[in-house]
Amino acid sequence: MICCVFDFAKSGFYLLLKNVDEAVQNLRDRGIEVFGVVCHVSNAQQRKNLVDKTILKYRKIDVIVSNAAVNPTVDAILEIKEPVLDKLWDINVKAAILLLQDAAPYLQKGSSVVIISSIAGYQPPTAMGMYGVTKTALLGLTKALAAEMAPNTRVNCVAPGFVPTHFAEFITGDANLRRELEAKTLLNRLGTTQDMAAATAYLASDDAAYVTGETLVVAGGMNSRL
């Protein structure tokens, strides 16, 4: 098992290393074999280092979960500055492709890729418009890669609903807005990291051996699709 923390800010390397070490130790305390690497996914050398160290230790790759994302703006799409657009595309979309390019030669027959999109990919919210667009792109990327990497590697996607994490704090931290979001779900609650982990684990596992090119929406019934 590999535990990676991605440095979106390109700073605080030693703080992130500390976070990785703590995460690794927490999992080892539960009896799980873990290997941790700090990696900024937009940095070609760090991506290569991640793959190289993984292969050096395990000789192969069975599962890749692409979860890196940023949302640095609440500006309308037509008002976003070009450097911010570049950052959104570089981290949310381009880095997923480049990481898979680096790792693909080491993927085993029967391997699995899980890309993390968002419910925002289906209906981008006003304050997260461009973020939503990048997540829409991941839905198409999943379909395209599933065809390209078949039959040896399955490629699927998870589209989480709203989960009260640090990343979503500017939305879920507002009590009134949180109640509005909860009311839009059929289960009257927001998601949890455990909900998302369970969906990802399913798609990565042999239980989903006949599932590829699909997106699993995990949003408590919010914005469900036919």
The catalytic site residues sit at 131
> Beta-carbon neighbour count of residue 98 at 10 Å?
17
Measured in whole angstroms, the distance separating CA 202 from the mean position of its chain's CA atoms is: 15
3-state secondary structure 28-79: HCCCCCCEEEECCCCCHHHHHHHHHHHHHHHCCEEEEEECCCCCCCCCCHHH
Torsion angles phi and psi, residue 64, rounded to 5: -125, 130
Q: How many CA atoms lie within 13 A of 201 on its CB side?
A: 7
The SS3 of residue 11 is coil
Amino acid at 166: H
